[in-house]
Amino acid sequence: MNSTFSIIEYQAFSKEDLKEIFKEKAEGFYKELEDFAKNNENLLGFKNKNSLKAKNYVGIIQTKSGVLEILPKCTNLDSYKKEDSSSNHDKEKLRRCYELDNISKNNDFYEKDFKFNPKNLLINMLKTLKNSPFKKS
């Protein structure tokens, strides 16, 4: 499982900072980030010999050893970490919500000789749009 190290946009970090989360993998992860920074200077750059600095980029950088998460500069990193560790989603409930087996099938669409007029279908779909100019009052 990949570990995630979170920083804020324009924040600098070093190998020592990574050791809290990555322990023995910190050296490898830092080396991978250095290699990434050499090829992507607009996203991640060098502050000095021993530290890297995020640039004007918000998102994630994923390597083989871990994930660097770069958050917007308006983020309070301490409260973000607390929220992240306390948020406990029920994955089973989410999985059940997205199962396609629970959706009832309309047999009208599965008949062999089912034919529809694409023009009528499009018009009916457009009528369902809210505040559309072609919707009848």
- SS3 assignment, position 47: strand
Provide the pLDDT confidence category of residue 87 given band limits of 50, 70 and 90.
Answer: very low
d(CA 31, CA 2): 16
Report the pLDDT value the prediction gives residue 38, as an integer from 0 to 100. Answer: 93
Report the pLDDT value the prediction gives residue 52, as an integer from 0 to 100. Answer: 94
Provide the mean pLDDT of the chain: 77
d(CA 51, CA 107): 62
**How many angstroms separate the Cα of 1 from the Cα of each of 4, 36, 56?**
10, 21, 28
Report angle CA 47, 40, 30 to the nearest 5 degrees.
55
Which tokens go with 129?
């749009």
End-to-end CA distance of the chain: 55
Range with the largest mean pLDDT of 6-20, 65-79, 111-125: 6-20
pLDDT digits (tens, 9 = 90+) for 15-67: 999 988 888 888 999 999 999 999 998 999 999 988 999 998 889 999 998 99
Q: Which of 70-84, 85-99, 109-123 has the lowest mean pLDDT?
A: 85-99
d(CA 26, CA 32): 10
Cβ neighbors of 94 (< 8 A, separation 6 or more) are: none
Read off the pLDDT of each residue in 91-120 and give the average, rounded to a whole number. 64
Record the pTM: 0.56
